[in-house]
Amino acid sequence: MRLQGRVALVTGASRGVGRAVSLALAREGCDLVLVAKTVEPDPRLPGTLNDTRREVEALGRRALVVRTDVRFEDQILAAVARANQELGHVDILINNAGALFLGPVVETPAKRFDLVVGINARAPFLLAQAVLPGMVERRWGHIVNMSPPLKPESAPGKVAYMISKFGMTLLTHGLAAEVRQHNVAVNSLWPVCVVETQAVIHFGFGDRDRWRRPEILADAVVALCGRDPSERTGRAWLDEEVLAADGITDLSGYACVPGREPLKLEW
């Protein structure tokens, strides 16, 4: 229970990585603010915020569901205001909600560019802006952005998407320097291998028997946030690095199909 009494806000919490992260944090003692768009069942997608809420509550933690489209500033501000009002504060922010679009520049419609940048870069900026005053006041906070280390050579063929994801990582580096003195940590986290999510399923990233379960990222989040913010900040981590630093090197338990070689993520 490394995070007993803390409150975490997780975006994209209705399924996949967001759900796994929410449950992992709950097991460590966190109450949860669950943010996403899916509250009612959608036949096209598994999982809702209310499903995650029930699982968090079954672990003995409180869970606040706030239906939010993170493209809109007013909805972000309303979600953070409800979190502060009903749970007292936000100690941990996990910027997990994401949009994926792959394609060369000449085949990228403006609306797709706006979508990925709005969700992947602008929303984390606004969410961080909204929760930081409380973290600074209490002199404790963690912000984790689901984004990769800067690697410009990975951009061809997916420039819009990488602009948005590298934008998240630049937020990590810049903001970490701004708030380090207040004992607030800002880090990025990215998987080494393909992790099972709805986006991966939709785009067909190889065979599922070589994917890893989202719990590998969830456990890496706990490893980051379970330490004092002064210990680790301003870095773009890979999940395997974070777990290895906590002494976890046998990753076979995260495989979707045991015994198969995991598929490295090309990005």
Query: What DSSP assignment string belongs to 184-248?
Result: EEEEEEE-SB-B--HHHHHHT-S-GGG-B-THHHHHHHHHHHTS-TTTS-S-EEEHHHHHHHTT-
pLDDT confidence of residue 252 = 96
Q: Bigger pLDDT: 20 or 198?
A: 20
pLDDT band, residue 199 (cuts 50/70/90): confident
Judged against a pLDDT cut of 80, whether residue 267 lies above it is answered with: no
Q: Is the pLDDT of residue 232 over 80?
A: yes
Query: What is the CATH topology of the domain spanning 7-191+215-247?
Result: Rossmann fold (3.40.50)
User: If 0-12 CB within 10 Å is exposed, 13-18 middle and 19+ buried, where does residue 76 land?
Assistant: buried
Q: What is the pLDDT of residues 36-87, one digit of tens each?
A: 997 888 777 788 999 999 999 999 999 999 999 999 999 999 999 999 999 9
Contact predicate 150/169, CB 8 Å: yes
Q: Over the stretch 105-162, which tens digit does the pLDDT of each residue have?
A: 999 999 999 999 999 999 999 999 999 999 999 999 999 999 999 999 999 999 999 9
For residues 190-199, average pLDDT: 93
pLDDT in tens, 14-26: 999 999 999 999 9
Q: Please tell me which residue in 6, 26, 79, 161 is annotated as part of the active site.
A: 161
> For this structure, is 254 an active site residue?
no
Q: What is the mean pLDDT of the chain?
A: 96
Tokens for 197? 């999510």
| H or E stretch covering 93 | strand 92-95
